[in-house]
Each structure stands twice: as C-alpha cells, then as structure tokens.
C-alpha cells in the first residue's frame, strides 16, 4: 500500500472509448485512501466505459491508470489483492447456494472465521432466509444484494462499483450508504458510478460529471454544470 497521502488510483490524460472512438478525453484524476470519487451523468454519457477503463477491464485509448503506483492490470496478483469490483453482471457459479458463494469469497481471501463473517453479511443484507437458495431463484434486488455482499465481504484497498444502488429499495440504499461510509472511514478508496443524487451526496468526496458531449468536470459539488470552472472538453 502507498502512504495515506499517495493515490490508491490515479489516471493521467486518460482517453476512454471503443474501437478508437473516444467517449471521454484527457481525464486526469486521483483517489487516495478514505476518499470516494463518484461518476455521475446521463445514461449513454459513458460512465460505465470510464469506470471499466479506470478498473483496468478495458484498455485506454490513451493515457495511463495506476494502482498504488503500479500499472493497472486486472489479471495481476497485485490487482486481485487490492481491488474489489462490481459491475452490472449477475455472475454466479452454477450449483452453489447464496451462502456457498459468500463462503467461497471469504475463504479465498483468507478471512479469519469465514463462517461468522458470512453469517454477518447474510444478516446485514437481509439474505438469511434465502441463504440456501440458488441465486438464480432470487429476485433481481436480492441477487444484487448477494453481489454487493460478496464485493464488500473481502478486504480491499480500492472498491469499484457500477451503480451499486441499482435494484435496491430505499432501506437497502440507506444501508449501502452506511456501509460505504464505513469503508471510507477504514481507509478504503472508492470509485463509484451512480444515478442517485442523495447517495452521491452522502458518499462522495469528489464528483466526476460526464456529459453526453464528452465534456467532463471534476469537483466537490454534484450541482456543477458544464459552464462552471474546471470543465474540460
């Protein structure tokens, strides 16, 4: 881990896009331990594209992304040790129940007392009544809670979440907000894409606004628009 003042994640002059066509250009940002960068903007503006590029899940067209001062490589042991992520895919192992999935994560990351940790996660996310069910027999919201429980169960220096509030009702959005605030307090760096204004205000230390035109702005206020200082094209 870098010293607390050094970035956990940093991007320099980053251009994100597909097949050589940029969505966002020249993005420079950094997130240190205990900070949360939240990506906001309209559907189709490219939030998920930028998030996947920051996460090392798709190559940058230009520029660099570093994790604790090292190149961001999704398949490296260093990455697996430090990064936990959740995107909008329901990826489960066939034949495993909800509890089995969480125990696999807990044991795979060497957690002490993995059974107790898993039971706590099941209770926290309201999954105890469905713990022995296949995730594929759950509702969409319940499946989302399983994925969140798995992502938050394991220790990480950097937590990357694509619209984690999606498919959650009000009570679980409030719970998730508290969990992420606690993670920040424990020194985890967060990079999150969100459509929820209240969630963003509660979690973010900085906000990256992305417009459909590719204009981006980086600041502390979710209400800043493309005409404000600090906006780039």
Dihedral sign, Cα of residue 163, residue 64, residue 157, residue 149: positive
Q: 3-state class of 128 per DSSP?
A: helix
Q: What is the largest CA-CA distance in the chain?
A: 53
Q: In what helix (H) or strand (E) does residue 47 lie, and over which residues does it extend?
A: helix 47-54
Does the pTM surpass 0.85? The reply is: yes
Mind listing the domains of the chain with CATH numbers? 7-88+157-232 (3.40.50.300)
CB–CB of 65/40 below 8 Å? no
Separation CA 27–CA 7 (nearest Å): 15
Token digits of residue 48: 């998920």
Separation CA 37–CA 216 (nearest Å): 14
Task: Choose among 226, 212, 203: nearest CA to 38.
Answer: 203
Separation CA 128–CA 126 (nearest Å): 6
Per-residue pLDDT of the chain (233 residues; tens, 9 = 90+): 555 568 999 999 999 998 889 999 999 999 999 999 999 999 889 999 999 999 999 999 999 999 999 999 988 999 999 999 999 777 788 899 999 999 999 999 999 999 999 999 999 999 999 999 999 999 999 999 999 999 999 989 999 999 999 999 999 999 999 999 999 999 999 999 999 999 999 999 999 999 988 899 999 744 434 333 333 43
Task: Choose among 86, 89, 103, 92: nearest CA to 136.
Answer: 92
Separation CA 18–CA 32 (nearest Å): 28
Provide φ and ψ at 8, rounded to 5°: -80, -45
DSSP 168-205: --HHHHHHHHHHHHHHHHTT-EEEEE---HHHHHHH-S
């Amino acid at each position: 881990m870098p010293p607390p003042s050094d970035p956990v994640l940093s991007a320099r002059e980053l251009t994100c896009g597909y097949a050589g066509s940029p969505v966002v250009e020249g993005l420079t940002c950094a997130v240190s331990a205990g900070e949360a960068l939240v990506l906001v903007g309209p559907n189709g503006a490219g939030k998920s594209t930028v998030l996947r590029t920051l996460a090392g899940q798709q190559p940058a067209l230009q520029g660099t992304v570093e994790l604790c001062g090292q190149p961001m490589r999704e398949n490296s042991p260093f990455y697996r040790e430090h990064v936990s992520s959740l995107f909008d895919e329901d990826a489960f192992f066939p034949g495993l129940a909800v509890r089995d999935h969480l125990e696999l994560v807990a044991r795979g990351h060497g957690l002490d007392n993995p059974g107790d940790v898993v039971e706590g996660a099941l209770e926290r996310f309201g999954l105890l009544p469905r713990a022995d069910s296949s995730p594929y027999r759950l509702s969409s919201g319940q499946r989302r809670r399983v994925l969140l429980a798995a992502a938050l169960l394991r220790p990480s220096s950097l937590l990357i979440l694509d619209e984690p509030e999606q498919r959650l009702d009000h009570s679980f959005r409030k719970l998730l907000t508290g969990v992420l605030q606690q993670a920040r307090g424990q020194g985890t760096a967060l990079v999150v894409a969100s459509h929820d204004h209240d969630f963003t205000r509660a979690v973010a230390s900085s906000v990256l606004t992305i417009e459909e035109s590719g204009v981006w702005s980086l600041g502390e206020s979710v209400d800043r628009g493309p005409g404000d200082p600090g906006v780039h094209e």
